[in-house]
């Protein structure tokens, strides 16, 4: 079915048809989202008590995530065994069982079919034959595992445990942030006019941050001259990059005339710079850490802003980015206030994040006439691996290495 | 001018300033320590404090505009605000509370036109010859925002 072949150069070229083809989108759903990967579902803190639930997606597939009466977390396809209707239609809630509204078939918190309405008919009339097996079309159940309060699910029975899927390069960097029980501060969705992979390779692109985001550079939050580095998992699938707070006094950006450094004619400075003040709560002087797990999860620490981002494909050229910002359950008032102030850096109106929405959409539009052409991904050479420079596209190449393996392309 | 008229005139002047691209006028609609917060009905209903955008005091409001003018990258765009008549309640001799509905239509240079946001303005207003917002909370009906939110609502 697929007529596409990858460019001979290998990982230093990413052909534009990967963002455009309907066949590719369908194969991704099957091999990646319903395949041997772990997808982020929610924070454990979003299911605060027994019998609470929320609804989300794994790729295109609607999913219910629920705690049973004993507190265990389950996830199952949000599709009734009978006619395929949604079993749960609310975003979140609490219930002692799920009842499909269409014909009142009911399910427990693990997605087991409990009852078929009037299965035996009424007064000896109607109903299903005794040999009927509606359970044969039961909603698919996901394997569910949590790591440091983050809940993931997979339909695959082959994929390894979540911790071994994430691997030893990246796992400690999750633990670094998720040091205590968390408290959800709120959520919203940014709808991006581009293929989901354009957002993922933006996240993994350590080279762009200080060139696109003037806020990073002008205020010396993240320059490529500051100490930092990138970790890439062995298979290339996951990454983590960090920058230390140590103030960079250099003028490499100014000398090279980078837009993001600002110009002497533009006198832009903050009248209220307290917005950026960071308390070193994790104790390692890291000002930013951006971490991604294949296929669609991002964990960020930007100063004292902490968030989980869930990346959901919604068609070839549409992506929903679900942001859930959080703090720790024991935050004092001053820390909560700091986190809410720094919410101005991220999300659809974020001084930094708004620009990622713009840039990735520009690529989707820019490549419309050139499916056969390719991105040039040669910063830092052609390899995939960890290092102490962020003037590299190693993590982007890692994404494509993992993607090609899953897609067999 | 009666209270109702004075409050609705403030809302109208605010909306026209944004729609005409006079962003530098925006902080002037607030008191010196005025607060501006965009949030979603979902976060409000869940009792969650997360803002989509938050500014406290004119310096922070001016920073937002300066950043839009000199720092942030986004495509040229305009808004068209439609603001409903307001429910106004006098709180004391010098303060009023107002709730008004809004629609914001976003127009891109290409002509692409989108119903970008709908919701409520919940305001605390200081009454004087030229009333100002002491607090303006913009509660968006939807949790979804298309691409990015640059110009304030």
Nearest residue on chain A to B41, alpha-carbon basis: A188
Q: With contacts defined as CB-CB under 8 Å, which chain A residues touch B60?
A: 271-272, 275
Q: Which two tokens stand for residue A206?
A: 């350590």
| Tally of residues, chain B | 153
* Higher-scoring residue by pLDDT: B130, A258: B130
Residue A358: per-residue pLDDT = 85
The domain at A167-407 falls in which architecture? Alpha-Beta Complex (3.90)
> What class does CATH assign to B3-140?
alpha beta
Task: Say if residue B22's pLDDT is above 90.
Answer: yes
Mean pLDDT, rounded, for B96-103: 98
CA distances from A388 to A52, A284, A298, A391 (A): 43, 16, 21, 9
Q: Residue A239 pairs with which residues in a beta bridge?
A: A232, A292
A265 pLDDT more than 70: no
- Cβ <8 Å between B149 and A354: yes
Is B150 close to A349, i.e. CB distance below 8 A? yes
Q: What b-and-e string marks burial along A315-340, b requiring 16 or more CB atoms within 10 Å of the CB?
A: ebbebbbbbbbbbbeebeeeebebbb
Residues 6 or more apart whose Cβ sits within 8 Å of residue A239: A170, A204, A230, A231, A232, A233, A291, A292, A395, A398, A399
| Best to test chain A binding among B57, B63, B137, B139 (most A CBs inside 10 Å) | B63
Distance CA B17, CA A344 (A): 23
- Per-residue pLDDT for B84 more than 90? yes
Given a cut of 80, whether residue A248 has pLDDT beyond it is no
Q: Do B59 and A190 touch (CB under 8 A)?
A: no
Percent of chain B with pLDDT over 90: 97
What's the pLDDT tens digit per position in B24-51? 999 999 999 999 999 999 999 999 999 9
- pLDDT > 70: what percent of chain A? 97
Beta carbons within 8 Å of A63's beta carbon, 6+ residues apart:
A41, A55, A56, A57, A75, A76, A77, A78, A142, A153
Q: What contacts 24+ positions apart, CB below 8 Å, involve A156-160?
A: A156/A34, A156/A35, A156/A36, A156/A37, A158/A36, A159/A36, A159/A37, A159/A38
Per-residue confidence band for B117, with pLDDT thresholds at 50, 70 and 90: very high
Alpha-carbon gap: A88 to the closest alpha carbon of chain B (Å): 18
Per-domain residue ranges of chain B:
3-140
- Residue A254's pLDDT is 77
For residue A259, the model assigns a pLDDT of: 75
Q: Does the structure show a pLDDT above 70 at A141? A: yes
Provide the pLDDT confidence category of residue B132 given band limits of 50, 70 and 90: very high
Over the stretch B51-68, which tens digit does the pLDDT of each residue have?
Answer: 999 999 999 999 999 999
Report the mean per-residue pLDDT for chain A.
93
Q: What is the structure's pLDDT at A151?
A: 98
Mutate to test the interface with B, among A354, A357, A358 (most CBs of B within 10 A): A354
- Mean pLDDT over residues A116-129, rounded? 94
- Band the pLDDT of A223: cuts 50, 70, 90: confident
Does the pLDDT value for residue A109 go beyond 70?
A: yes
CB atoms within 10 A of CB B14: 23
How many Cβ pairs within 8 Å bridge chains A and B? 121
A50-54, A225-229, A361-365, A398-402 — which is least confidently predicted?
A225-229
**Residue A246 predicted with pLDDT over 90:** no
Hey, what CATH topology would domain A39-147 get? Rieske Iron-sulfur Protein (2.102.10)
Q: How confident is the model at residue A263 (pLDDT cuts 50, 70, 90)?
A: low
Average pLDDT over residues A52-63: 98
Q: Which residue of chain B has the CA closest to A349?
A: B149
Lowest mean pLDDT among A84-93, A212-221, B39-48: A212-221
Confidence of residue A2 (pLDDT cuts 50, 70, 90): low
pTM, full prediction: 0.96
* pLDDT surpassing 90 at residue A1: no
CB B142, CB B120: distance < 8 Å: no
Residues of B in contact with A361 (CB under 8 A): 147
Tokens found for residue B57:
């005091």
Please indicate whether residue A158 or residue A218 has the higher confidence score (pLDDT).
A158
- The predicted structure's pLDDT at residue A253: 78
- Residue A239 above 70 pLDDT? yes
| Those residues with Cβ within 8 angstroms of residue A133's Cβ, 6 or more apart along the chain or in another chain | none
For chain B, the distance separating the N- and C-terminal CA atoms, rounded to the nearest angstrom, is: 26
B12: Cβ contacts below 8 Å, ≥ 6 apart: B83
Is residue A360 within 8 Å of residue A199, measured between CB atoms? Answer: yes
A50/B125 Cα distance (integer angstroms): 44
Provide, as residue numbers in chain A, all residues whose Cβ is less than 8 Å from the Cβ of B71: 214-215, 218, 262, 268, 351
Where does the pLDDT of residue A266 fall: very low under 50, low under 70, confident under 90, or very high at 90 and above?
Answer: low
Sign of the alpha-carbon torsion through B64, B67, B69, B75? negative
Q: Minimal CA–CA distance to A16: which of A364, A361, A403, A374?
A: A374
Instruction: Report phi then psi at A338, rounded to 5.
Output: -60, -45
Nearest to B57 among A266, A272, A355 (CB): A272
Looking at beta carbons, which residues of chain B come within 8 Å of A336?
Answer: 49
Comma-separated ranges of CATH 2.102.10.10 domains in chain A: 39-147
Contact A187 B43 (CB under 8 A): yes
Q: Which tokens is B51 given?
A: 């803002």
Q: With bands split at pLDDT 50, 70 and 90, how would you rate the model's confidence at B71?
A: confident
| Residue extent(s) of CATH 3.90.380.10 domains in chain A | 167-407
Asked whether the beta carbons of residue A344 and residue B54 sit closer than 8 angstroms, the reply is yes
Q: Quick: pLDDT tens for A281-327.
A: 999 999 999 999 999 999 999 999 999 999 999 999 999 999 999 99
Angle between helices A196-203 and A353-366 (to 10 degrees): 130
């Amino acid at each position: 079915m697929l007529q596409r072949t990858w460019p001979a150069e290998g990982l230093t070229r990413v052909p534009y048809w990967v963002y455009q083809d309907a066949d590719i989108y369908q194969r991704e759903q099957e091999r990646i989202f319903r395949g041997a990967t772990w997808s982020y579902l929610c924070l454990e803190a979003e299911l605060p008590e027994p019998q609470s639930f929320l609804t989300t997606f794994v790729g295109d597939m609607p999913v219910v995530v629920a705690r049973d009466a004993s507190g265990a977390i389950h996830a199952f396809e949000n599709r009734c065994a009978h006619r395929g209707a949604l079993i749960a239609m609310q975003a979140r809630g609490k219930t002692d069982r799920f009842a499909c509204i269409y014909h009142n078939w009911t399910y427990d918190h693990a997605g087991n079919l409990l009852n078929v309405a009037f299965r035996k008919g009424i007064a000896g009339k109607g109903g299903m034959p005794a040999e009927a097996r509606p359970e044969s079309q039961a909603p698919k159940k996901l394997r569910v595992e949590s790591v440091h309060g983050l809940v993931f699910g997979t339909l695959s029975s082959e994929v390894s445990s979540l911790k071994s899927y994430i691997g030893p390069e990246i796992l400690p960097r999750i633990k670094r942030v998720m040091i205590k029980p968390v408290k959800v501060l709120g959520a919203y969705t940014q709808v991006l006019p581009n293929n989901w992979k354009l957002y993922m390779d933006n996240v993994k692109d350590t080279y762009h941050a200080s060139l696109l985001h003037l806020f990073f550079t002008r205020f010396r939050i993240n320059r490529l001259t500051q100490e930092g580095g990138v970790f890439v998992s062995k298979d290339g699938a996951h990454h983590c990059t960090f920058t230390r707070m140590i103030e960079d006094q250099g003028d490499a950006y100014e000398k090279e005339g980078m837009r993001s450094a600002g110009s002497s004619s533009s006198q832009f400075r903050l009248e209220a710079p307290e917005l950026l003040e960071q308390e070193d709560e994790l104790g390692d002087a890291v000002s930013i850490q951006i971490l991604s797990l294949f296929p669609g999860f991002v964990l960020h620490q930007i100063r004292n802003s902490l968030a989980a981002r869930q990346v959901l494909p919604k068609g070839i050229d549409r992506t929903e980015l679900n942001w859930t910002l959080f703090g720790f359950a024991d935050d004092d008032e001053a820390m909560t206030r700091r986190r809410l102030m720094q919410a101005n850096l991220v999300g659809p109106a974020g001084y930094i994040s708004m620009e990622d929405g713009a840039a990735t959409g520009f690529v989707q539009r820019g490549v419309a006439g050139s499916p056969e052409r390719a991105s040039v991904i040669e910063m830092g050479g052609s390899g995939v691996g960890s290092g102490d420079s962020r003037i590299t596209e190693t993590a982007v190449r890692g994404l494509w290495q993992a993607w090609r393996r899953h897609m067999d392309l | 001018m009666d209270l109702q008229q004075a409050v609705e005139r403030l809302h109208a002047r605010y909306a026209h300033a944004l729609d005409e691209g006079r962003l530098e006028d925006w902080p002037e609609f607030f008191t010196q320590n005025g607060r501006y917060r965009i949030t979603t009905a979902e976060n409000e209903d869940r009792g969650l404090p997360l803002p989509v955008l938050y500014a406290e005091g004119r310096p922070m409001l001016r920073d937002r505009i300066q950043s839009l003018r000199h720092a942030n990258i986004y495509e040229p765009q305009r808004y068209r605000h439609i603001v409903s008549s307001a429910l106004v309640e006098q709180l004391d001799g010098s303060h009023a509370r107002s709730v008004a509905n809004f629609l914001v239509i976003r127009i891109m240079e290409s002509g692409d036109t989108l119903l970008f946001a709908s919701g409520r303005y919940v305001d605390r207003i200081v009454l004087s010859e030229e009333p100002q917002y002491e607090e303006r909370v913009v509660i968006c009906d939807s949790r979804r925002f298309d691409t990015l939110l640059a110009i304030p609502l």
